[in-house]
Structure 1
Amino acid sequence: MKIRTIVSSLLLIILFSGCKESKTEDTTKANYLDYSKSDDQATGGIKMIPITTPIGKFNVWTKRVGNNPKIKVLLLHGGPGGTHEFFESFDGYFPNESIEYIYYDQLGSYYSDQPTDNSLWTIDRFVDEVEQVRKALKLDNSNFYLMGQSWGGILAMEYALKYQKNLKGLVIANMMASAPAYNKYAEDVLGPMLPKEVFAQIKEFEAKKDYTNPKYMELLYKYYYSEHILRKPVEQWPESINRAFKHLNPDVYVFMQGPSEFGITGDATLKDWDITSKLKTLTIPTLVIGAKYDTMDPKHMEWISKEVQNGRFLYCPNGSHCSQYDDQEHYFPGVISFLKDVDSGNFKKS
């Protein structure tokens, strides 16, 4: 009799705890698109956030999609000098899962202020900017997930190294932890995968620093971009990607990344960047995304997931640098599972 009572009590606890969780999910879903109590209702979630820099104050553009008090994902776009438009495919997946996400154009990008002082384009200054944006949006370690892709991955890692106490989770997409390692992968692996005569022509253009030559760009788009940036014929690329490339700020991009697409070279300020020795200090749940055809070495990405203390690796077997477009069947389920596992307390590292 006593055993039966204990079993019945346990069943009731499980039943009602499940109901409570379901009720919370239902409430979140019901309120997901309710902006009526928010200060950005009139602008559809858009906020221009003032930030302070060493040379003065500027404004950066953000746009919130949805409401979820427990999961808020701040998106850090690539480039440098890119835009939030690289992430617009998220609209097809995150809302149905009631995930709140925030588009954000970093300073110098198309929808934000675009000062021309190169002293602004440093990692430390960008990290400080992200922290100012976090405070303005009232994000904290009960709900704040930072997701960076490409250059945004560099920025996300650097932010986490300084401010991981503010984070609930971190997502590093399509970015290695070392510029020299990336350069070696591009030179030793990606370049030789091209037809020999094509790679020779590309290297000839680069040796002459003839980066604006239409033939150079034609070769890149036909043989490199459509294989390693987004695996579709260029004429079939999504409109949002074309718009993002159109809006790229070349001054910021070249200053930090350099003019070549085969690594970070020349006088680019990121060319010696390397944080591989610091990764082990990251303790927060971390998802690292790598793809088979990426410009970044997927094996290095998997290594990052093991080097941090609580990492998980997501492999996109059909994806390239923009796996959020060309391998959505693996990319989005993996990202969504990570966010929900961390939120529910069920996160397990790889």
Structure 2
Amino acid sequence: MKLKVLLFAAISMLLLSNCQQKPKDDSIKANYLDFSKRDDQLTGGIKMIPIKTPKGTFKVWTKTVGNNPKIKVLLLHGGPGLTHELYEAFDGYFPNESIEYIYYDQLGSYYSDQPDDNSLWTNARFVEEVEQVRIALGLDSSNFYLMGQSWGGILAMEYALKYQKNLKGLIISNMMASAPEYNAYAKNVLAPQMDPKILKQLQDMEKNNDFDNPKYSELLFEYYYTEHVLRMPQAQWPESITRCFKHINPNVYVYMQGHSEFGITGNATLKNWDVKARLKTLTVPTLSIGSKYDTMDPEHMKWIANEVQNGRFLFCPNGSHLSQYDDPKTYFPGVIKFLKDVDNGEFKKS
């Protein structure tokens, strides 16, 4: 009889414990789309944030989706000079997991101010811009995850190397830590995979600085981008991606990256960028994402995960540069697991 009483008491305590824990999770889900206590309710989460620069004050566009006091992901888009639109696939995955995320157009991008001054397009100034956005949005080390894809990955690494004390987690999506090694991978590994006749046409146009020739971008999209940027026929690309490319600021893009994703060309300012030697100083939990068909070497992405002190590697076997679109079944579960593992104190480096 005594044993039955003890067993009943134990079961009751277990059930009570579960009941006590459940509302904690349910409260985040229940309040996820409640904007009633936020100052951006009228704009649906959109804020134009003033940014101080050496050339004056400008405004950048942000939009917050959802409420989660413990997980807030600031998204740094690629380019440079592209837009937050390349992340719109996240709408189909993050809300169901009650993950708060913030779209953000960097200065010079379509939805933000676009000053015509190339002196503004430096890594150091963009890092300070991200820091001002963080402060304006009230993000801190208890909730702030920074996620950067492509050029956004460069910016995320640069920010973390200066301000990792402000971060709860870091995600580097499809970006190597060395522009010279990125160029070498494009030249020595990816270029030989192309039809030799197509490759020669591209190389001849690059040699002649004939980047404005419509044939140059036509060949790139048909024979390179559909293999290594987004693995779908261009006619089937999601509308958000075609809109993103339509909204590109070519002045910022060419000044920093060059004329295409087929390596960094000309005197683009990112040509010699390299932070490999500094990554070992990063202690913040870090997810590095690489993809089989990417413009970036997936082995290098794996190296990043091992080089930082608390890294994890996510490999997308069917993905390319925009693996959130061509390998979502691997990409999103891996990203969501990382966010939740860090939040729950269950993160383990790979």
Question: If the TM-score is normalised by the length of the shorter chain, which range does it land in?
Answer: over 0.9
Partners of 1:142 and 1:279 in 2: CA distance: 22
Partners of 1:244 and 1:142 in 2: CA distance: 32
2:337 counterpart residue number: 337
Could you tell me which amino acid in structure 1 is paired with residue 327 of structure 2? Answer: D
2:234 counterpart residue number: 234
Could you tell me which amino acid in structure 2 is paired with residue 292 of structure 1? Answer: K
Could you tell me which amino acid in structure 2 is paired with residue 309 of structure 1? Answer: Q
Q: Are 1:171 and 1:286, in contact at CA under 8 Å, matched by a contact in 2?
A: yes
Whether 2:150 is the aligned partner of 1:146: answer: no
**Deviation of the 1:260 alpha carbon:** 4.0
Partners of 1:276 and 1:2 in 2: CA distance: 65
Provide the TM-score with structure 2 as the length reference: 0.96
**Deviation of the 1:261 alpha carbon:** 3.1
**Deviation of the 1:6 alpha carbon:** 9.9
> In structure 1, the residue corresponding to 2:232 is in which secondary structure?
coil
Q: Are 2:33 and 2:67, in contact at CA under 8 Å, matched by a contact in 1?
A: yes
**Deviation of the 1:259 alpha carbon:** 1.6
Partners of 2:220 and 2:3 in 1: CA distance: 71
Partners of 2:222 and 2:58 in 1: CA distance: 38
Q: Per the alignment, do residues 313 and 6 of structure 1 end up closer, same or farther by CA in structure 2, a change over 3 Å counting?
A: farther
Could you tell me which amino acid in structure 2 is paired with residue 83 of structure 1? Answer: T
- Structure 2 gaps of 5+ residues are none
Q: Per the alignment, do residues 7 and 55 of structure 1 end up closer, same or farther by CA in structure 2, a change over 3 Å counting?
A: farther
Q: Per the alignment, do residues 68 and 204 of structure 1 end up closer, same or farther by CA in structure 2, a change over 3 Å counting?
A: same
Q: Are 1:211 and 1:260, in contact at CA under 8 Å, matched by a contact in 2?
A: no
Partners of 1:162 and 1:43 in 2: CA distance: 32
1:131 counterpart residue number: 131
**Deviation of the 1:11 alpha carbon:** 6.9
Q: Per the alignment, do residues 208 and 349 of structure 1 end up closer, same or farther by CA in structure 2, a change over 3 Å counting?
A: same
Q: Are 1:283 and 1:309, in contact at CA under 8 Å, matched by a contact in 2?
A: yes
**Deviation of the 1:22 alpha carbon:** 2.3
Q: Are 2:33 and 2:66, in contact at CA under 8 Å, matched by a contact in 1?
A: yes
**Deviation of the 1:346 alpha carbon:** 0.5
Partners of 2:2 and 2:282 in 1: CA distance: 48
**Deviation of the 1:309 alpha carbon:** 0.5
Whether 2:315 is the aligned partner of 1:283: answer: no
> In structure 2, the residue corresponding to 1:205 is in which secondary structure?
helix
- Structure 1 gaps of 5+ residues are none
2:324 counterpart residue number: 324
Could you tell me which amino acid in structure 2 is paired with residue 159 of structure 1? Answer: Y
RMSD: 1.8
Q: Are 2:53 and 2:125, in contact at CA under 8 Å, matched by a contact in 1?
A: yes
Could you tell me which amino acid in structure 2 is paired with residue 185 of structure 1? Answer: Y
Partners of 1:200 and 1:112 in 2: CA distance: 38
1:28 counterpart residue number: 28
Partners of 1:2 and 1:304 in 2: CA distance: 58
2:106 counterpart residue number: 106
Partners of 2:253 and 2:298 in 1: CA distance: 23
Q: Per the alignment, do residues 163 and 201 of structure 1 end up closer, same or farther by CA in structure 2, a change over 3 Å counting?
A: same
Could you tell me which amino acid in structure 1 is paired with residue 310 of structure 2? Answer: N
Q: Per the alignment, do residues 216 and 53 of structure 1 end up closer, same or farther by CA in structure 2, a change over 3 Å counting?
A: same
Whether 2:38 is the aligned partner of 1:38: answer: yes
**Deviation of the 1:15 alpha carbon:** 5.0
**Deviation of the 1:7 alpha carbon:** 9.1
Q: Per the alignment, do residues 62 and 8 of structure 1 end up closer, same or farther by CA in structure 2, a change over 3 Å counting?
A: same
1:75 counterpart residue number: 75
Q: Per the alignment, do residues 251 and 203 of structure 1 end up closer, same or farther by CA in structure 2, a change over 3 Å counting?
A: same
1:182 counterpart residue number: 182
Partners of 1:51 and 1:65 in 2: CA distance: 21
**Deviation of the 1:8 alpha carbon:** 8.6
> In structure 2, the residue corresponding to 1:264 is in which secondary structure?
coil
Identity of aligned residues (%): 71
Q: Are 2:280 and 2:307, in contact at CA under 8 Å, matched by a contact in 1?
A: yes
Could you tell me which amino acid in structure 2 is paired with residue 201 of structure 1? Answer: Q
Could you tell me which amino acid in structure 2 is paired with residue 262 of structure 1? Answer: F
Partners of 2:171 and 2:106 in 1: CA distance: 18
Number of residues of Structure 1 aligned to a counterpart in Structure 2? 350
Partners of 1:86 and 1:2 in 2: CA distance: 63
**Residue deviations 1:171-208 (CA, integer Å, cap 9, x gap):** 00000000000000000001111011111111011111
Q: Per the alignment, do residues 205 and 163 of structure 1 end up closer, same or farther by CA in structure 2, a change over 3 Å counting?
A: same
**Deviation of the 1:23 alpha carbon:** 1.6
**Deviation of the 1:264 alpha carbon:** 1.4
> In structure 2, the residue corresponding to 1:186 is in which secondary structure?
helix
Q: Per the alignment, do residues 11 and 170 of structure 1 end up closer, same or farther by CA in structure 2, a change over 3 Å counting?
A: farther
**Deviation of the 1:258 alpha carbon:** 1.1
